[in-house]
Amino acid sequence: MSEDDRRTRIDGTPVDRRAFLGGTAAAGIAGLAGCTGDGEDGGGGTETSEPEGGSGTDDLESLGYGRERGELGGTPMSEMPDLEGELTVYSGRGEFLVGQLVSYIESLYDDFSLEVRYGGATDLVNQIVNEGDGTPADVFYSVNAGALGALAGEGRTAALSDDLLELVREEFHTEQWIGTSGRARSVPYNTNALSEGDIPDSVMEFPDFDAQLGWAPSYGSCQAFVTAMRIIEGEEATREWLNAIQEAGIESYPDEFVVSQAVADGEIDAGFTNHYYIQRVIEGREDPPIATTFTEGDAGAVFNVAGAAVVDQASDPTLAENFIRHLLSTEAQDYFAVRTFEYPLVEGVPPVGDLPSIDELDVPNIDLAQLSDLQETVDLMRDAGIDI
């Protein structure tokens, strides 16, 4: 075994890269160092909310890390091009969420140096634009498709290779960016108070639903949900819905993980959140009375993606693309499923929990990049008297 093929296990002992990654592709990512939790973007676009359990590796089991997952599909890192050179990533995904994963990727290659600058996704888009041709950014990694679309709209992304784009379904990429994991809008409900059949199929019916509801209107994901409503239903219908949902007495919370906790505690009957917050409550408690359901084909069922793009001024576009490939490897996709409870986007890597497949979700047909237009939504919500 050559020095170039030898890497270090988490416990510090050497391991052969090809043999190690080949094994983890079949059994999941038990060999990856983990970061706890997930969050969703706040108003500034950066993931901030961390679930119960703290950080580090002490509570990996409580979050499902290293669970038996069986044989998984996709392409293992051992079959991907080696990474060699220097790369700068601007990440709108939180360090506590993806830092261990990207550091692990860096550790696999002796001749690869990775610098990651973390911040709000929107702020980083503006930074890249303001830095112009002198930006050091090679890859932009975003919490949502809206920020990716905003950067592409500024002409600051490079077209991606067809063989990279083919790694995910066409609805989860454009020529300029590619999704790496997904999240579905959902309705968490308290199973002691409601059954799945009680939940309306249309999000527009919720103001008339006889239940105590909760949401997190200052949260970026909630604002993206309202943005989707504006796109699908129109501004006037959305304004009427916002007024009616407030009149119905909806409770406001600081983030969507807290909304899901309130549902499980019986404080409210149901709410509006991304799907993975519910899964975190389920994983962190013993038999909590909370379950997940979805509306049909409307703003309450939007499926958004985190993803990456190669910046137009990347010093080595091929290296940048190959790093993104690693985010779509079997190991990384399983990491997103097991550690962040997101939907993997690579075929053959299922989500964690009792969730429908992506194909079974009734997702509205909208351009995800349009969800970046939050300012009009924020103005509309404030005009409706919502404190955000």
Pick the closest to residue 185 from 364, 36, 369, 50 (CA basis). Answer: 364
Classify residue 311 by its DSSP letter: B
Residue count of the chain: 388
Q: What is the pLDDT of residues 225-282, one digit of tens each?
A: 999 999 999 999 999 999 999 999 999 999 999 999 999 999 999 999 999 999 999 9
CB atoms within 10 A of CB 192: 10
CATH architecture for segment(s) 3-182+305-344:
3-Layer(aba) Sandwich (3.40)
Please, are residues 362 and 301 in contact by the beta-carbon 8 Å criterion? yes
Distance CA 273, CA 189 (A): 11
Q: Kindly tell me if the per-residue pLDDT of 138 is higher than 90.
A: yes
Distance CA 162, CA 173 (A): 11
Average pLDDT of 38-53?
Answer: 40
Residue 62, pLDDT score: 34
What the block records as the tokens of 226 is 């309202």
- Segment 53-76 shows an average pLDDT of 55
The domain segmentation of the chain, as residue ranges, is 3-182+305-344, 183-303+357-383
Q: Which CATH architecture has domain 183-303+357-383?
A: 3-Layer(aba) Sandwich (3.40)
Maximum distance among all alpha carbons in the chain? 69
DSSP E strands in 128-256: the ranges are: 139-142, 178-190, 213-215, 251-252
Q: What is the pLDDT of residue 39?
A: 39
Helical pair 95-107 and 330-339, crossing angle rounded to 10 deg: 160
Q: Which residue has the tokens 């409870």?
A: 341
d(C-alpha 346, C-alpha 132), whole Å: 33
Question: What per-residue confidence (pLDDT) applies to 220?
Answer: 84
Whether the CB-CB separation of 381 and 238 falls below 8 Å is answered with no
Do the domains 3-182+305-344 and 183-303+357-383 sit in the same CATH topology, yes or no? yes
CA separation for the pair 84, 382 (Å, rounded): 49
Residue 38 has pLDDT above 80, yes or no: no
Give the per-residue pLDDT at 126. 95
Spatial separation of the C-alpha atoms in residues 183 and 292, rounded to whole Å: 13
**Residue type present at position 307:** G
Residue 179 buriedness (CB in 10 A; 0-12 / 13-18 / 19+): buried
State residue 255's pLDDT score: 95
Sign of the C-alpha dihedral computed for residues 156, 161, 166 and 168 taken in this order: negative
User: Would you say residue 58 has pLDDT above 90?
Assistant: no
> What are the residues whose beta carbons fall under 8 Å from the beta carbon of 19, sequence distance 6 or more?
none
Evaluate if residue 60 carries a pLDDT over 50.
no
Q: What is the DSSP code (8-state) at residue 309?
A: E
What does the pLDDT look like over 317-366, one tens digit per residue?
999 999 999 999 999 999 999 989 999 999 999 998 889 999 999 999 98
